Amino acid sequence: MLPTPTKFALVSGTSEGSSKLNAFDHALLNAGVGNCNLLKVSSILPPGAKLVADLNIPAGSLVPIAYGSLCLDSPGELIAAAVGVGIGDPESYGVIMEYSGRASKDEAEVQIKRMVEEAFAKRGLALSQILVRAVEHKVENTGCAFAAVALWY
């Protein structure tokens, strides 16, 4: 099987770019994961994974990552992205939720917490902690908001 990640970090970034993909690329750089090969996953925190501040990922590595992202070319619009990690029993898995939308950071935080709570309720698990990372960005020309839980080893 593929190796299960053992560490995680919450990261976020925003940026402008001359295309949506460039704005996304710059937002990844701003978040500190711009030089990795992101493999989007849907989205469970592996049991025992440790929260770290800095992932020290070598350039070009394949990085499992859960993220919310919105890249938009509507000048003046406020966009936000958020991730939430729900943690219950420290020996068990957690649940990661992602959000992006035309919203403020505050609205994204409220929404992501609600989503994590629902995921735990649906599993019948007690929730002891929610880690949240959210960003907002006012689009100038073509902008991107990105928030992620990067999983690593």
Question: Does 110 engage in binding with a second copy (CB under 8 A)?
Answer: no
Contacts with a second copy: how many residues (CB under 8 A)? 53
Binding string, residues 32-51; x marks residues near a second copy by CB under 8 A: --xxxxxxxxxxxxxx-x--
Is 43 labeled as catalytic in the residue annotation? yes
Q: Tokens 């959210």 correspond to what residue?
A: 134
Q: How far apart are CA 153 and CA 150, in angstroms?
A: 10
Q: Which residue, 73 or 118, is less far from a second copy as judged by CB?
A: 118
Q: How far apart are CA 111 and CA 153, in angstroms?
A: 29
Task: Please confirm, yes or no, whether 37 is among the known catalytic residues.
Answer: yes
| Tokens encoding 13 | 């970034």
For the chain, the straight-line distance linking the first and the last C-alpha, in angstroms and rounded, comes to 15
Strand, coil or helix: 76:
coil
Question: Which residues would be at the binding site for a second copy (CB under 8 A)?
Answer: 1-5, 17-19, 21-22, 24-26, 28-29, 34-47, 49, 58-62, 64, 66, 92-93, 95, 97-99, 111, 114-115, 118-119, 122-123, 151-153
